[in-house]
Each structure stands twice: as C-alpha cells, then as structure tokens.
Amino acid sequence: MSEKEIWVIAEYGDEGIKKSTWEVVTAAKELAGHLKVKPVGVILGNGIERFAEELSRELESVYFIEHPLLSKYDSNAYVSSLYSLIKDKKPDIIIVSATFRGKDYIPMLSAKLDCGLISDCVGFDAKDTILFKRAVYGGRLIATFKFEESELWIVTVRPRCFEYKRTETIKGEILQVKPVLGQQDIMTAIQEIIKETTNRPDLSEADIIVSGGRGMKGAENFKLLEEMADVLGGAVSASRAVVDSGWLPHTYQIGQTGRVVSPMLYIACGISGAPQHLAGMSTSKCIVAINKDPNAPIFKIADYGIVDDLFKVVPVLIKELKS
C-alpha cells in the first residue's frame, strides 16, 4: 500500500519559489505531522527545473509537471494536468496558497474532482480532529470547519497566516511528469505581460502595507503614502472608494472584491472602515488607523488609533521614521 501524501502546489516567479508557497510548506509539514502523511511538492511549468530543485530541498518528493503549453499560466491547463496526476497518485490532502492564481484554478479543480474545499484558511487546530479556521462576516468572526470522511481534502491558505520555518536542507526526489495536453486545453491567449516597475513588495507577501481611502482627497496625494511605504520597506494599497474614483488601479484594492492581506503592520490612512474593506485586512497582526472622524468604524478593530487630519500626521510620521 502506497504511503499517504499531502501535496503543496507551488507558485514561483522570476526570483524563485514564492514566499506564500514556503508558508504553505510550513503549514503542510505541521498537518503532515498530525496526520502521519508524507509532505510532497507539486510544480507545473516548462524549463523550470531549478524551481523544482529548490522545492526538493525542503520536501521528500516533488512532482514536476512539465510541458511546453505550461510555459504560461492557464487555469484550464493547470486543472487538466493536476486532475490526471491526482487520479493516478491519489493524495489525501492538497494545500495551496490563496493567491490570485490559487483562487482562480483551485475551485475549478475541486469541482472537477467532486471533493471538499475549505478556502482562505487562516489557521487550524489539531486535536482529535483537524479544524480549519477562516474569517467570516467580513472578518468579524473566526469560524472553524472540518472535512467529513472523504477520499480527498483541498485547502487554500491566506498568505502571511503561517510563518515560514526553514528546516534542515534535504535532497528530495524529483519525479518528472509529462501531462497529455493539447492546444484545445489552453483557454487564454496571453499576448503580453506588462510588469509593474516598482521595488515595493507584492501586496500578498508584504510585511507592511500603507493604505489610503477617500480621505486622501485625490490621486496626487498618494505620493505621501508612497514615501512612507518606501521608508518602511512596505507596499501601498487602497480602499474600493479610491479605485472606483480612478485614483489607483484595481490591483491596489484591499477588500472583499479586491485583495485579502494579513501583513505584520497595516496603516490605514483616511479609511473609514466599511465592512467590505475590513474583510480584506482584519487579520493583519497590527492595525494603525489615522482618521479625523473619531467614530470611524476602522477604530473598532485598530490596535492603535490617531484621531487627526492625516495630512498633518503622516508627514510627522515620515520625518520621525527617517530620523
């Protein structure tokens, strides 16, 4: 009888395996210890052997699904490739980071496999049974969920909810897989990839985020938040009101219809704290709110609050941080 496995499906960028994947590796190893299963990596692409090797330094085995049609991400090609391997190898659990990509193809994969999915988890408790935690009601409550007995579980984990713990370097086995893919499996034609030219970290992986709302009064005033973010080595984000006003692109939006983040520090400037926004950042480790309205809802979840005009407060903060 083959050994039971928990799979981590990896994401990577030009610089290597993404930080959010390493966080999931940590979560998977903790789960593997409780469930007595083997942690295994899965990576898809073409010509990315170096990333498979990078993953194998922390996991006993890595399935490397390689095909020219996987050179660029396509949700249908990912689902087709993974479905075949899952049916063949029959893992017990699949765990993935709840990034844009994870949120895109994992529900499709779950539906095709007809198996359970718990999405956007922020932690788990392991006692007699495994209870997965996720934020509900716009982050106001943390609910616990468990799987019924089934052949396969799939879990997505919110980035920054597990601290990556590097383990002793090993040399895991890399098992190359050649999926059966044709052009009919590619549903999206990518004409061009335009990368944002910034030295700031990606919002999903940033330790510090400086965010602005309608109180910023205009797109030109975000230079103030950009300066503070650069001093702190953080990222810049915005509320839906800012995006709807056209001050920043949608990729900057935090909230129920935008990005969901859990940084170590979230500084909310001129953000009232609508439930839609709180749903995207309420699990941040430390929240600092700056708003001239003492009754702004953001203060109810903030660890520290400053009731004043942000255009007076932020320049002082920047000056102090620089000194």
Per-residue pLDDT at 113 exceeds 80? yes
Q: 3-state class of 62 per DSSP?
A: strand
Tokens of 150: 């089934």
Round to whole Å and give the CA distance between 176 and 296: 54
Hey, what amino acid is at 183? Q
Average confidence score pLDDT of the chain: 91
- Residue 172: its pLDDT value, please? 86
Alpha carbon separation from 89 to 3, 4, 185, 193, 272 (Å, rounded): 10, 10, 22, 34, 49
CA dist., res. 88 & res. 98, Å (int):
25
Choices 1.10.3720.10, 3.30.2130.10, 3.90.1330.10, 3.40.50.1220: CATH for 203-322 = 3.40.50.1220
pLDDT at 106 (0 to 100): 97
Domains in the chain: boundaries: 5-185, 203-322
**Residue 128: pLDDT above 80?**
no
Q: Are 203 and 235 in contact (CB under 8 A)?
A: yes
Is residue 237 pLDDT above 50, yes or no?
yes
**Helix or strand or coil: residue 225?**
helix
Q: Kindly report, residue by residue over 1-54, the tens digit of the pLDDT.
A: 467 899 999 999 888 899 999 999 999 999 998 889 999 999 999 999 999 999
Strand 153-157 versus strand 173-177 pairing type: unpaired
**Cα–Cα distance list, 191 to 44, 66, 74, 188 (Å):** 21, 22, 13, 9
Q: Which residue has the tokens 């995006």?
A: 243
The two counts, helices (H) then strands (E), for the chain are: 9, 16
Parallel, antiparallel, or unpaired: how do β-strands 5-9 and 93-97 relate?
parallel
Which burial class, exposed, middle or buried, applies to 218 when counting CB atoms under 10 A from its CB (0-12, 13-18, 19+)? Answer: exposed
Fold (CATH) for 5-185: Rossmann fold (3.40.50)
pLDDT value for 168? 67
Retrieve residue 271's tokens. 């953000």
Contact 172, 61 (CB under 8 A): yes
- Of the candidates 243, 282, 285, 244, the one whose C-alpha atom is nearest the C-alpha of residue 264 is 285
In CATH terms, are 5-185 and 203-322 the same topology?
yes
